Chains A and B, each alone.
Chain A
Amino acid sequence: DVKVTQSSRYLVKRTGEKVFLECVQDMDHENMFWYRQDPGLGLRLIYFSYDVKMKEKGDIPEGYSVSREKKERFSLILESASTNQTSMYLCASTMGGFSGNTIYFGEGSWLTVV
């Protein structure tokens, strides 16, 4: 069974704190993604990675960075959290290539910045 695991489901952080959101997949997928989900705005791509140590900016990368030191793990980092980063964050992964592979999502991490 496919599994994308986000270790923190609910977090409350203070403005200015550094925040790490961790995501692990057990399917040996090449591609991993971080999305942000907000009511009325859908899912917006923050960053993605198609290989270890590789990263690409998505549509809204400002205020975020990522790390992919191992194939199975993709971390989202908020260097200095702000209240407008209060949101639900979804990690996802998919096999590489052009064969029409499904994107699998994690359960989501609810972040509140106060």
Chain B
Amino acid sequence: GENVEQHPSTLSVQEGDSAVIKCTYSDSASNYFPWYKQELGKRPQLIIDIRSNVGEKKDQRIAVTLNKTAKHFSLHITETQPEDSAVYFCAASIRPGGGADGLTFGKGTHLIIQP
């Protein structure tokens, strides 16, 4: 099955700086890559996703890049703010939206924004 590796496990950045979280996946058939943000005590929520026919997608301060050849994708957050502090999970699936097989998640990155 699919295996998703996520790095780093903890990332501390100064407010206003950029943060980058990286993930690799093993199954070349995977074609859907969402990112979830989970604030303390809350449910994971989708923040951005990308499909394999696209190399980059941006939504305001958040962007995701995908390198299919190398089988890795990254989350980029620019001009970080205190409310960006959370645990971020990457995931991969061969079915957009997870389909009936669900998503395979990375182990998460705890992003800490230092004031």
Residues of A within 8 A of B (CB): 30-31, 33, 35, 40-45, 48, 50, 56, 58-59, 90, 92, 94-103, 105-108
Contacts and interface: CB of A to CB of B under 8 A. Distances in A.
B42 to A, nearest CB: 7
B98 A40 contact: no
Interface of B: 1, 6, 9, 32, 34, 42-46, 49, 51, 89, 95-108
B32 A43 contact: no
B44 A105 contact: yes
9 contacts: A35-B105, A44-B105, A48-B100, A94-B99, A98-B97, A99-B97, A101-B96, A105-B43, A107-B43
A45 B97 contact: no
Nearest to B43: A105
B96 A105 contact: no
B111 to A, nearest CB: 15
Given A42-B6, A43-B44, A107-B43, A98 B102 contact: no
Please report whether the interface of chain A is mostly helix, strand, loop or mixed according to DSSP. Answer: loop
A22 to B, nearest CB: 16
Nearest to A110: B41
A56 B100 contact: yes
Given A48-B101, A98-B99, A42 B46 contact: no
A31 B9 CA distance: 30
Contact of B102 (A58, A107, A108): A58
A56 to B, nearest CB: 7
Given A35-B102, A100-B51, A102-B46, 10 more contacts: A42-B89, A42-B108, A43-B103, A48-B101, A98-B96, A102-B97, A103-B102, A105-B44, A106-B43, A107-B42
A90 B42 CA distance: 11
